[in-house]
Structure 1
């Protein structure tokens, strides 16, 4: 299914029903699809054509979705951009994907438009009064445009999205996905959790992430449910939105569910009874935390999801009944539409008690990494995707994530490539050598820790290093701890033994 057809089908089945809610702004399916076709006209008049790439760098606002569907009606490809990136990081992604046109939220516009590319920028003012917002704002242009006429039978084998990874080799890679693959991602997810036709799903995690966009936003729209957008995650605002909009499902990193309980003094006063499913990903919950959250939220309907951008994302799920008994596991086998193996180094399937690499097979798998045949070949094994994650199988067949072969640190739901942070730190004038690892954290999953060997005669401090990194990498990637060392532990071949550093942190 082409993603524009996903929306058109929903119009036919749920036309007068609410499709998108953003504060006091509301669109029925018929209204939203008409606005998306007007957005297609705006994008086309700005130079976007079939096969072109549209970069979108916004918060969770209607503009993101209107631009996405507008691009798909136009026959163009959506490139979601992390709104937290520094200018240099934005520039790299724009150059790499060749985006001819981009949309940015006015609040972060200066950081994005300073990128030294020939990309043309449109600017969104999602919260401005229609009577006073700039005439050239994306919203004003969409309101005044005529709707575009999209092809009646669009090809679902065309490229729908380029999703950028965290960059385990120092630079993010672009996962190239077809319309068919992303539509199947939404379908498999809706089946696995499952989602319902009367869903009111709160999108409070960044919508440019693969899971909020493809699993939950498109999964909800596929069924004719309602997507409730929260501009940016904040614990109290999440509770207020759930209560006001009678939200039925919420997705977030573990910290997004833990923080309201710990940081909102009157948490117990909020009416959260409308929520049927509390869904979390990007890290597990231990048994004690799972019990505390179930008691606090008055619900035992918690789901864990595991996947990655390369697969849509799809992977595995841990059902509500398994949250305590199998705490820490990602599930048993793959979710509907997904085959999952744990593969030993000799190529055989791992038996109970053994550890191996997690391999996934699904029709949602990416076509490959954009302009990177070598990296694509490295992660493909026939029809299988080699995740790079190490999993251990228990006696019941449940798989627990043991380690990340790619040294990705997941902090607050954000993926941080340790090699990217190390590369930035090596350019610091006082740093001789560096290794970056994650320290386990009960709320954030992990925090970023840098082990630094300083140049002789200097002693860098955390505040100075953090200030120096501010303009070079996104804020969430900047180390929260700095450990000074005379040397780093290495193998005889010279490779840093990061497990030794992790053990050192675990020992206090």
Structure 2
């Protein structure tokens, strides 16, 4: 049988044949339309001699063509490597040497160096690739050649160490991730969402695209993230669900402050991954989206996006820093540096296991093998589990500020700072120091036009932060840099 992505699309098209599934610029594709596009794309791949296990680079960005290539490749057992449209020539060259793709599909953003690195027969531009629609539809055979354990996608991430490595995401991983989100967020085919985060990252590919095609919900696909456009789409189409990082929601919040946007009542659910929302942003989201439940998500590329989900509304609880409980089939273990499990409530390294967690990295090395302990993967994150089974993230090991041996957990300090009146956003970073090695420095964005007393703020920091946690320098900025 085909891979999970293709199977889920075929199932959804049979159930909701005329329902809009992908809306992009002036295109609106029903599930049947998109299935037919995928079949034409599969025919294109077949006629170019693609077979199970071959590798294709997908550098088409947030486009219909990216989606069609992903699903067509999955139908045939072809492994997709999603490539960032922001990749530079050195990174791209390294991936080429590691994986030797049969063909590279690219858009204009990476065109200059793709042409320098690859012969014409090994590359195809977005403009030329669009011609796949002229191919006859390939009816995908139901056989046993593509299995759940087969790799569907390899997504490169710095992840748990500094060296980039490929998370080998299987069909089973993708299916488990979709099931976890459906169970944890109670989404249905009546829901709609916006995919404006990069589709070549795990949130875009798994937590939005794959999930909503499996659900039969409508996706408004955007080539770039523009806050004013996102807010307009929500209002115009009564969008019900948004998934993004704290950065995404901080940008939306800032846009609302500038434009005086009123509340958007259609949104009923927000999922926030890739970090924790601070309490200041949570309060602002409550005003902007008054009917939305806010769900914090802890996950990573290696867990195909979801691992823990806060199933209630995190803004309506005192545990607003909780990342929730393990999602469907997931298991968490908190361990010390020697890999020994720690008691409930003690802080240590977060190990994860479950059907959504990858089994290995590409390439397989001694260093990556050591990250696995039986069925568990060492995430490199630090946290603890309380008596109710909720996971609390303290920090990533590489992001902890080590001030003379005392550990400063950035999210914890940022959350406390964000509770001071008229603080909109905070970023705590490390600065080298001759005495302590590292010391914390804060960059703070305050609400435009609002009164802010710096002296009162310093008194607040002294009352709420230990001496080693307090920023040695504070910079008031008009905008925080985004990555």
Q: Is TM more than 0.5 here?
A: yes
**Residue 129 of structure 2 corresponds to residue 138 of structure 1:** yes
Deviation (angstroms), 1:395: 5.5
Alpha carbons 2:323, 2:391 under 8 Å: kept: yes
Q: Secondary structure at the match of 2:84?
A: coil
The whole-number CA distance in structure 2 between the counterparts of 1:394 and 1:320 is: 17
1:316-355 per-residue CA deviation (whole Å, 9 max, x = no partner) reads 1123433341122212x31122112222446554345421
Q: Secondary structure at the match of 1:238?
A: helix
Match of 1:481 in 2: none
1:278-317 per-residue CA deviation (whole Å, 9 max, x = no partner) reads 2111111223331222122223411111111112122111
The whole-number CA distance in structure 2 between the counterparts of 1:336 and 1:206 is: 25
Counterparts in 2 of 1:273 and 1:86: CA distance versus 1, 3 Å: same
Structure 2 length-normalised TM: 0.80
Match of 2:322 among 329, 332, 337: 329
The whole-number CA distance in structure 2 between the counterparts of 1:113 and 1:169 is: 32
**Residue 46 of structure 2 corresponds to residue 44 of structure 1:** yes
1:338-385 per-residue CA deviation (whole Å, 9 max, x = no partner) reads 112222446554345421111111112213111223133211111111
The whole-number CA distance in structure 2 between the counterparts of 1:392 and 1:188 is: 21
Q: Secondary structure at the match of 2:8?
A: helix
Within 5 A, what are the aligned runs for 1:269-308? 269=261, 272-308=264-300
Alpha carbons 1:51, 1:76 under 8 Å: kept: yes
Counterparts in 2 of 1:398 and 1:68: CA distance versus 1, 3 Å: same
Match of 1:18 among 17, 20, 23: 20
The whole-number CA distance in structure 2 between the counterparts of 1:438 and 1:144 is: 53
Counterparts in 2 of 1:22 and 1:500: CA distance versus 1, 3 Å: closer
1:78-125 per-residue CA deviation (whole Å, 9 max, x = no partner) reads 111111111111111222222121111224422444446898222114
Q: Secondary structure at the match of 1:357?
A: strand
The whole-number CA distance in structure 1 between the counterparts of 2:371 and 2:17 is: 42
The whole-number CA distance in structure 1 between the counterparts of 2:331 and 2:215 is: 24
The whole-number CA distance in structure 1 between the counterparts of 2:201 and 2:299 is: 12
Match of 1:73 in 2: 75
Counterparts in 2 of 1:446 and 1:94: CA distance versus 1, 3 Å: farther
**Residue 210 of structure 2 corresponds to residue 208 of structure 1:** no
Alpha carbons 1:201, 1:248 under 8 Å: kept: yes
Note the aligned Cα RMSD (angstroms).
3.0
Match of 1:507 among 469, 472, 483: 472
Deviation (angstroms), 1:215: 1.8
Deviation (angstroms), 1:28: 0.8
Alpha carbons 2:250, 2:425 under 8 Å: kept: no
Alpha carbons 1:46, 1:101 under 8 Å: kept: no
Counterparts in 2 of 1:504 and 1:399: CA distance versus 1, 3 Å: closer
Deviation (angstroms), 1:271: 6.4
The whole-number CA distance in structure 2 between the counterparts of 1:43 and 1:317 is: 37
Counterparts in 2 of 1:319 and 1:2: CA distance versus 1, 3 Å: closer
The whole-number CA distance in structure 2 between the counterparts of 1:211 and 1:93 is: 21
Figure out how many residues of one structure are paired with residues of the other and give that number. Answer: 427
Gaps of 5+ in 1: 126-136, 410-436, 452-484, 490-496
Q: Secondary structure at the match of 2:91?
A: helix
